[in-house]
Amino acid sequence: MIKISHLSKIYQIDSLATKAIDDISFGIKKGEFVAIMGPSGSGKSTLMHILGALDTPTSGTYELDGENVGRLKDDELADIRNKKIGFIFQAYNLLPRTSALKNVMLPMAYAGITKDEREKKAKELLGLVGLADRIEYLPNQLSGGQQQRVAIARSLANNPAIILADEPTGNLATVQAEEIMNIFKKLYQKGHTIVMITHEHDIAQNAKRIITLRDGKIVSDKKH
């Protein structure tokens, strides 16, 4: 599903080159639930951006679902993000003043799906995350946990190859964080591939495999 080989990312600021990711290689198989851990500055955010096709590597290759993502142009990357990746952000990032339903429909609109189909699928997904009774609510009328559930529903909209979650529980209280993790486990059981970035050990324990980064290098890769 994901194949990373000798991947590096170097940020050039003036004459100073910073290696955010330093020649790492690993693979993720279909249906895996992986947590990527590491302290701040370890390169996990950069890795997340590259995995999410928001950024391209300086060297090395990133293959997603058989496609070499590192060599694609802007609009092709947009297509990859739209169809193969489901994003979940720490700050939820829902469109303000836009209903939960419309938020979930948005990625499908960019994929060119008809309005009726979009609406049907979005309702189904909101039901899956337990928000069937709140589809017309605006983000500011929902709690943090509920907003993150809307974001999960949105990430599933185009049946992506992987779900990419960046600190999905970072802004949430423990009870709500547990709810979100339960949904992730459910998705994992249904066969979805999940890559979750976190710095919290408790949250990472929910995953079946933990990759730990430090100074742009993988220091451990354990399954349990």
Partner 1 sequence: MEPTEIIKESLQTLALNKMRTTLATLGIVIGIGSVIALLSLGQASQKAVENQIQSLGANLLTVYPGSSRSGFVSGGMGSSTSLTYDDAKAISSDPSITTVAEVSPEYNRRAQVTAGRNNTNTQIVGATPAYFSVHKVNISLGNFFSGREIDSAAKVAVIGPQVTADLFGLPAQAGENVNPVGQLIRIAGQSFRIVGVTTTKGGSGFQNPDDMIYIPLTTAQKILFGATSLSNISVEAKSKTVMTQAQDQVGYLLLARHKLSDPTLADFSIMSQADILSTVNQVTGTFTSLLAGIAAISLLVGGIGIMNIMLVTVTERTREIGLRKALGAKKKTIITQFLIESIILTFAGGIIGMLVGILTSFIISRVMSIAFAVSLASITLAIGVSGITGIIFGWYPAKKAANLQPIKALRYE
Query: Given the complex with partner 1, which of 1 and 109 has the nearer CB atom?
Result: 109
Query: Given the complex with partner 1, which of 17 and 111 has the nearer CB atom?
Result: 111
138 binds partner 1 per the rule CB under 8 A: no
- Residue from 1, 3, 60, 83 touching partner 1 (CB under 8 A): that is 83
Residues in the chain: 224
CB 156 within 8 A of CB 186: no
First-last CA distance in the chain: 20
- Residue from 38, 43, 52, 168 touching partner 1 (CB under 8 A): that is 52
Pattern of binders to partner 1 over 7-26, x per CB under 8 A?
A: --------------------
Query: Given the complex with partner 1, which of 87 and 212 has the nearer CB atom?
Result: 87
With contacts defined by CB under 8 A, name the span among 23-31, 81-89, 173-181, 198-206 that binds partner 1: 81-89
Phi, psi of 4 (to 5 degrees): -110, 125
99 binds partner 1 per the rule CB under 8 A: no
Please, what is the minimum distance in Å from the beta carbon of residue 87 to partner 1? 6
- Residue from 17, 95, 132, 219 touching partner 1 (CB under 8 A): that is 95
Query: Given the complex with partner 1, which of 80 and 210 has the nearer CB atom?
Result: 80
Phi, psi of 115 (to 5 degrees): -60, -45
Quote the strand ranges of 29-95, DSSP E: 33-37, 59-64, 67-68, 85-88
Torsion sign over Cα 45, 174, 100, 119: positive
CB 149 within 8 A of CB 110: no
